[in-house]
A and B are shown apart, each in its own frame.
Chain A
Amino acid sequence: MKESLSMYIDFELVTDKAENFFVDFRDDTDFRDNWFYYHFLGDIMRGQSTPDDGFSLRIIEKLNNIEIDPLFDPLSSED
């Protein structure tokens, strides 16, 4: 699983395998943990990271109260 996840993260898993991969592992704890760790490592290596300390959880919890809005364009007020 880890090599496939590594490839999935790097966009190197061919499309049909990638679709099956997500479906197979979407609820898997190790998949989710390693998804976090592998991205975090990459961000730190590129110097693009800030400490996380539960930040993504707070965003995910906030999204629980948000609905997709077909009429909303997030870039409508862009300069």
Chain B
Amino acid sequence: MDTTDLDLVKRTQLGDRHAFDLLVIKYQRRIAYVISRYIRSPQQVEEITQEAFVNAYRGILTFQGKSQFSTWLHRIGVNAAKNHLSAERVRLSLYEPSYNVETNELIEPVIIDTEDPERLLIAKQLAESISNALKTLPKDLCQAITLREINGMSYSEIAVVMKCPLGTVRSRISRAREIMTDSLRPLLEPHRDRRAR
């Protein structure tokens, strides 16, 4: 159960915007990633992601904890993307075909942009840097953070796999994050919202 998310949602429902800001920081990349499966234009992905968070915030009182917050937000993101695609289809149904005057060939309407190569390159560089940082970690720290972040295991499950006490799991995961953040800070810093406080 995502107790932290639930805690932040409850605080948002009681009027604490700081709590929702943390949920935005946590989930905006994941929601943008989901939306980018439907919409390829980075600009439109950003607009629709913003719309999804606006809708989630406006309607936060309808979230009653029957599902995980991440699932609820994911559905809102997919819904926003589908609504956008439906609107595009309507727009295209009203589209008057145009033809090249010289060749008399139909000019195809452009619905989606291609993915931004610069953003793809940055994403690839980030992934490579994380991969290299993982390799430089002590083996037990690398295993702990990998089991948590990639395999999604709980601390008690990791303790069983690594045959160590729960407290050791806590410190290994925390230490791994701390080391990776410190070593990658120059690379991650441009992505940090310095004013988002």
Give the B-binding residues of A (Cβ under 8 A). Answer: 2-3, 5-13, 15, 18-19, 22, 26-27, 29, 32-60, 62-63, 66-70, 72-75, 77-79
Contact = CB atoms under 8 A, between A and B. Distances in A.
A51 B191 contact: yes
Contacts of A62: 50, 53-54
A7 B170 contact: yes
Interface residues of B, number: 79
A10 B16 CA distance: 22
Interface string B56-68: 1111111000000
The CB with the most chain B CB atoms within 10 A, among A47, A51, A62, A78, is that of: A51
Interface of B: 1-5, 7-8, 11-13, 15-22, 24-26, 28-30, 32-33, 36, 45-46, 49-50, 53-62, 72, 75-76, 79, 82-83, 119, 122-123, 126-127, 130, 134, 145-146, 148-150, 154-155, 170-171, 173-174, 177-178, 180-181, 184-185, 188, 190-193, 195-197
A12 B75 contact: no
B33 A50 contact: yes
Contacts of A66: 54, 57-58
B58 A3 contact: no
B36 A50 contact: yes
Given A18-B7, A66-B58, A45 B170 contact: no
A12 to B, nearest CB: 5
The CB with the most chain B CB atoms within 10 A, among A33, A47, A50, is that of: A50
Contact of B174 (A2, A45, A70): A2
A74 to B, nearest CB: 4
Contact of A57 (B4, B53, B56, B196): B196
